[in-house]
Amino acid sequence: MRLYAAVAVSGFRRYATYRVATAAGVFTNTVFGFVIAYTFVALWDERPHLGGYDQSQALTFVWVSQGLLAAAALLGGGFQEELQERIRTGDIAVDLYRPADLQLWWLAADLGRAAFHLLGRGAVPVAVGALAFELSLPADPLRWLAFLLSALLGVVVGFALRFLVALCAFWLLDGQGVNMISALMCMFFSGMLLPLTVFPGLFGEIARLLPWAAMLQVPVDVLLGTHSGTGLARALGFQVLWAALLLGAGRALQSLATRKVVVQGG
Amino acid sequence: MAGNELSDDGFIELDGVEKVFDVRRKAGFLRRERHRVRAVDGIGFRVGRGEMVGYIGPNGAGKSTTIKMLTGILTPSAGRLRVAGIDPSRERAGLAHRIGVVFGQRTTLWWDLPLRDSYGLVRRMYRVPEARYRANLDRCVELLDLGALLDVPVRQLSLGQRMRGDIAAALLHDPEVLYLDEPTIGLDVVSKAKVRGFLREVNAERGTTVLLTTHDLTDIEQLCERVMVIDHGRLVHDGGLAELHAAGESERTLVVDLERELPPIEDVPGARTVKVEGPRQWLAFGTGQSAAPIVAAVAERYPLVDLSVREPDIEDVIARMYAGGKGL
Amino acid sequence: MADALARARSVSGGLRAYGLIVAMWVRSTMAYRASFLMTTAGNFAASVLDFVAIMIMFSHIDRLGGFTLPEIALLYGATSTSLGLADLALGNMDRVGRRVRDGTFDILLVRPAPVVAQVAADRFALRRLGRVSQGLLVLGWGVARADVAWTPAKALFTAVTVIAGAGIFAAVFIAGAAFQFWAADASEVQNSFTYGGSTMLQYPPAVFARELVRGATFVVPLAFVNWIPVLRMLGRDDPLGLPGWVDFCGPGVALAMLTAAGLLWRVGLRNYRSTGS
């Protein structure tokens, strides 16, 4: 446990060294926040209560999304390419023989990264958004706590998905295609482009059940107070379920991969 | 092809060349301190056409900065610098046709394409006439043993093979001068030998002027009659390798780890203790001597835990040159 | 005169080097043909999903900022095609910072070709045709469905607009790359102006705050990519009340921006050569 804590801390530190890159990222998130916020204002002017949100909730959705973008790695990044590179070059064999679990190791590192991104890249855009627009951020500290928990679960689900994708590199010569599909699904079905509650009919219902919904839509809804009481428990349970399922699948794939490495020697 | 005649006029000329960098260092959370660093601090030398010169010095001494100024990558802060009569920083593109550059650890070859394709790009980019290109390529293939590698994607080549490929790429356009930055670093013995043999051949056959930086004294011994040493941005030696050795008598070092801290070892014939740090001691002995009797003598008289022998490297030679006060 | 001749020669030399390097990257790409096809499809699909989100919006509304869906398609198609073309031509210029850091930038400086051409061609990615083709499809749909009486002159105006728009985005890419000579890690800032700018241009100017529209007209004149010309095509007034002749300034703005970006690049390169960092 101490080991993984240390890995998480070094994951945090590693990203903390890039100050200029962080500032550049915050700038970009803020610009995108403004652009999307204005389109949402126009959209909610035409259709108040679209997707069950009022205008200030919709705007909160925009800015919190921009704040979570880096932490939840909605646009990719993080460890995925690095792990694939290690698999491609065969360095992964070293990792597999280390007295630490591969999946937990990378999860710890990714949680460290996410923690930095939540602070370093999340706070400023949300603050700017709150200054420029009327947001409905909760005053209840318990709601914030629930949001943090939900965001954490979202990060774990995102990690589990990308870990699965990264491990495909054991069998595919070139992981780019899978990476692309994974990034596309994440972009569209996380709610990053448009809240999933706005998606129409059956399509929307299915979209809200997919694992990508656990990455952004659910945490933002928790913050907005859409879920309360048993609803909140159900929302968090939905995330836990996907996290467990996907981490389990990753574990199974990892043991298959280990066998492959042991048999073929890399 | 320029003939093989050596001329005194200086094909490469440097007079009082300086390069000063402003370095910003972190000093606290947001504060940055500015420092002026004189990477090259008033260097002057001449290299004649067809010479092969070693350019050596410790890391950060200013070697790479000099090469970057010679190739026109960097603009000197002061002084006069000419290559073939041209000021590299002003006419970088024009000079590019006349120079070849090999950066030891940065390949210019195309990772996913066969070696041959990289050479094709060089031919077009440098507008090398077809016949000339053929002849040069054939000669490089022969001397560097590239025949079997031409159709192999570069990513599949070993480090040594890639370096050979890179050196060939730098010579296809008949450069008058070739700069090599650490051309043998990390190479296996066979590749090192091939590279050295090739450079000798090119220099003798075409009269290509060669300036190379290296950490490997053997490169210098086998290739260069003349060696220049740079340290802290200044030229501290310019002459033969023999003189360099004489200036800083080369010695090998035996590093021994004893069981406990002991006074300096004094009773081992042929060796003298130069440094003590806790249980670890450094014993210097001449390059001509065998290490075996010294190791045996130490092991017999002292509680030896571990040992290693260090060959003299350029840093040592330079350090000793200073200690002897015989430099410059 | 001699100066102009030298400049012309350097431009043609730059284009030639650009073509040579692009050809090498295309060949490298074709070493992984399956991956190329997949990533091109992915590039296309990413842009499609982007537009699907707008279509979902329009499943709830009829107009946004006074524009119907086909009219939005005109805006979207024009900016997406322009950005796609610029991204295809020199979208990897933002690797300059990385090249400076790992030292491979020096290799470009000892070759007999303009550095800007070499950097522009760096890692040329043919898969970006995916975005261009999606942009053209949406533009075509918008042209077919929007309430515009098309004439040959208007068609020509549209084509010129798309190309001038690509020039404007190209200038932003070049300026962004030049900026990295001072801040090597700041490559993401330019995304604000390219991708962020393009996202903004997909929607009518009436949606945005006046100051934002003004900034996009006079400070970083992205408005000339599509806002001003498309408003002209649709016969609507622009929200800033600019005189009519401004509508035809797109190509001029693109040239001016490219010149300014080129100058910035030269200053940046000179700075690099004197500081080496």
Q: What integer best gives the mean pLDDT of chain C?
A: 92
Domain that holds residue A202: 2-260
Q: Strand B177-181 and strand B99-103: pairing?
A: parallel
Task: Name the residue among C144, C149, C138 with its Cα closest to residue C82.
Answer: C138
Cα B51 vs. chain centroid, distance in angstroms? 15
- In a domain? residue A108: yes
- Pseudo-torsion of CA B146, B149, B155, B157, nearest 10°? -60
- At residue B6, the pLDDT reads 43
**Would you call A28 and C200 a contact, using CB atoms and an 8 Å cutoff?**
no
**Would you call A184 and C49 a contact, using CB atoms and an 8 Å cutoff?**
yes
- In a domain? residue A44: yes
Domain count, chain A: 1
**Would you call B121 and C112 a contact, using CB atoms and an 8 Å cutoff?**
no
Give how far A236 is from chain C: nearest CA, Å: 27
Rounded (10°) angle between helices A230-264 and A102-117: 130
Average pLDDT over residues C249-266: 96
| Domain ranges (residues) in chain C | 2-270
- In a domain? residue A170: yes
Per residue in A8-29, pLDDT (tens digit) is 999 999 998 888 899 999 999 9
- At residue B316, the pLDDT reads 67
* Residue C49 touches chain A, beta carbons under 8 Å: yes
* Residue C35 touches chain A, beta carbons under 8 Å: yes
- At residue C120, the pLDDT reads 95
- At residue A218, the pLDDT reads 97
- In a domain? residue A266: no
Question: In whole angstroms, what is the distance from residue C75 CA to residue B106 CA?
Answer: 45
Among the partner-chain residues A21, A35, A194, the one whose CB lies closest to the CB of C196 is A35
* Residue C21 touches chain B, beta carbons under 8 Å: yes
- In a domain? residue A158: yes
Q: Please report, as a single letter, which amino acid is at residue A249.
A: A
Average pLDDT over residues C261-277: 89
Q: Beta partners for B53?
A: B211, B226
- In a domain? residue A265: no
Average pLDDT over residues C207-214: 93
In chain B, residues with a C-beta closer than 8 Å to the C-beta of C123 are none
In chain C, residues with a C-beta closer than 8 Å to the C-beta of A177 are 34-35, 38-39, 42
Mutation site, C29, C30, C32, C35, interface A, largest A CB count within 10 A? C35
Half-sphere exposure of residue C32: CA atoms within 13 angstroms, side-chain side:
20
**Would you call C42 and A177 a contact, using CB atoms and an 8 Å cutoff?**
yes
CB B82 within 8 A of CB B11: no
Per residue in B125-162, pLDDT (tens digit) is 999 999 999 999 999 999 999 999 999 999 999 999 99
Minimum mean pLDDT range among A180-194, C3-17, C72-86: C3-17
* ipTM summary value: 0.92
Question: In whole angstroms, what is the distance from residue A50 CA to residue A44 CA?
Answer: 7
Task: Name the residue among B115, B172, B164 with its Cα closest to residue B143.
Answer: B164
pLDDT-derived band at C86, boundaries 50, 70, 90: very high
Among the partner-chain residues A21, A187, A194, the one whose CB lies closest to the CB of C185 is A21
**Would you call C20 and B126 a contact, using CB atoms and an 8 Å cutoff?**
no
Identify the three-state secondary structure at position B85.
coil
Per residue in A172-198, pLDDT (tens digit) is 867 777 888 888 899 999 999 999 999
**Would you call B93 and C113 a contact, using CB atoms and an 8 Å cutoff?**
yes
Give how far C148 is from chain B: nearest CA, Å: 49
Average pLDDT over residues B56-75: 90
